[in-house]
Structure 1
Amino acid sequence: MTADILTPRLRLSLPTAADLDTLFAISTDPRVWTHYPTLRHIDPEETASMMARWERSRESEGLGPWSVRARDTDELIGYGGCTLLGGEVWNLGYRLSADHHGRGYATELAFAALEQARLADPDRPVIAYLVEHNRASARVAEKVGLALVHRTPDAGNPDPSVWRLVYADRPLTEAQLAAASL
């Protein structure tokens, strides 16, 4: 994918080095990580490494997360899309600036990501991997047609009371579920 994808209010484009500072600012904002604060970036190298993983996904699978801009202002407001987990499932993920939460952008982005994942490889399931107390992300998954298929303690989470949910667009095999739990 080289051309931008346009939704009614968003422009999804390939991330560039010029996006790093803004994506780092989003990734380091504690308001963006209220549901999993230990994943908050503290060094720009974490964000640069994440962007390099996206590029490898695009090169190997033809799909990876995008930089997300508001079409009316061209402001970079986040990132998101689908990446392949364990060679088995497309993982739908996103992170938006806290100043842009609650406007339906995540749902708009999720619909576009689902469409692109199905174009890239319709035989691979699309999943959303989230923590149970993140009800906003669960609502987005449900709005785009994903259903809860698995619930388990969140291995490795510093809070042992946190549960991990897997939403999917179809039933998952054991191998797909294992890949979704990476």
Structure 2
Amino acid sequence: MHMDDLHLDRPTLDDVAAIHTIYSDPRVWTHLPSGRHERLQTTESMVQAWIAGWEEDGLSSWIVRDARTNQVMGNVGCWVKHDAFWNLGYRLGIEAQGRGIATRVAKHAISQAHRINPALPVVAYLLEHNLASAHVAEKVGLALQHRGPDAGNPDPAAIRLIYADRALTQNQIKAAME
């Protein structure tokens, strides 16, 4: 799929190395250093889950490429999580951040999620101090639905925010907190 200066491609295992370069870069994990991928196998498992999401749900994360150079810039998309919601996720390489790419592609991902399964809410969860990610969630029309401790985070003071395109049930909030 083309978006002017971007190509959005379904992931393949050929994308693992380029995505790992982004996911292993500490500069893209300043808000959650423990999330950084240290092993290529971690990234490969994640990409395999995206591929499975495309096959099972008809939507998942896209590999975002620069249309001119074909360079992988990161990933953006919606995938079904816990059979309870569409999880909106985005992670771009440091060079691609701050250019509105996550917002543009996330808007498209949300419209596709609504088309494919409108019964499921679209959810983005993030850490409270990740202001850039919160701005993307707000710009694409999601509203804050929950604020609470981020269970399992190595930082006991970490607060998780849950944004969604509609009010969430307690079960959906619980699923997004896992």
| TM-score band w.r.t. shorter chain | over 0.9
CA deviation digits over 1:5-52, x for unaligned, max 9? 222332111112221111110000000100001010011100100011
Secondary structure, counterpart of 2:156 in structure 1: coil
- 1: CA distance, partners of 2:91 / 2:21: 11
Q: Is 1:84 aligned to residue 74 of structure 2? A: no
Q: Is 1:68 aligned to residue 64 of structure 2? A: yes
Asked if the contact 2:162/2:176 (under 8 Å) is kept, the reply is yes
- State the match for 1:110 in structure 2: 106
Secondary structure, counterpart of 2:49 in structure 1: helix
Asked if the contact 2:12/2:51 (under 8 Å) is kept, the reply is no
- Identical residues among aligned pairs (%): 49
Higher relative contact order (CA closer than 8 Å, sequence separation 6+): 1
- 2: CA distance, partners of 1:81 / 1:12: 10
Among 124, 130, 141, the residue aligned to 1:145: 141
Once the two structures are superposed, the pairs formed by residues 28-67 of structure 1 within 5 Å of their partners are: 28-67=24-63
Q: Name which of structure 1's ranges 67-76 and 138-147 shifts more when overlaid on structure 2.
A: 67-76
Superposed displacement of residue 95, structure 1 = 0.8
- 2: CA distance, partners of 1:148 / 1:71: 33
Amino acid at match of 2:124: A
- State the match for 2:172 in structure 1: 176
Among 11, 14, 19, the residue aligned to 2:10: 14
Amino acid at match of 1:164: R
Secondary structure, counterpart of 2:137 in structure 1: helix
- 1: CA distance, partners of 2:145 / 2:16: 35
Superposed displacement of residue 72, structure 1 = 2.9
- State the match for 2:118 in structure 1: 122
How many corresponding residue pairs? 178
Unaligned runs of 5+ in 1: none
Asked if the contact 1:22/1:76 (under 8 Å) is kept, the reply is yes
Superposed displacement of residue 170, structure 1 = 0.4
- 1: CA distance, partners of 2:87 / 2:4: 23
Secondary structure, counterpart of 1:63 in structure 2: coil
Secondary structure, counterpart of 1:167 in structure 2: strand
Structure 1 moving runs of 4+ over 3 Å: none
- State the match for 2:19 in structure 1: 23
- 2: CA distance, partners of 1:16 / 1:110: 20
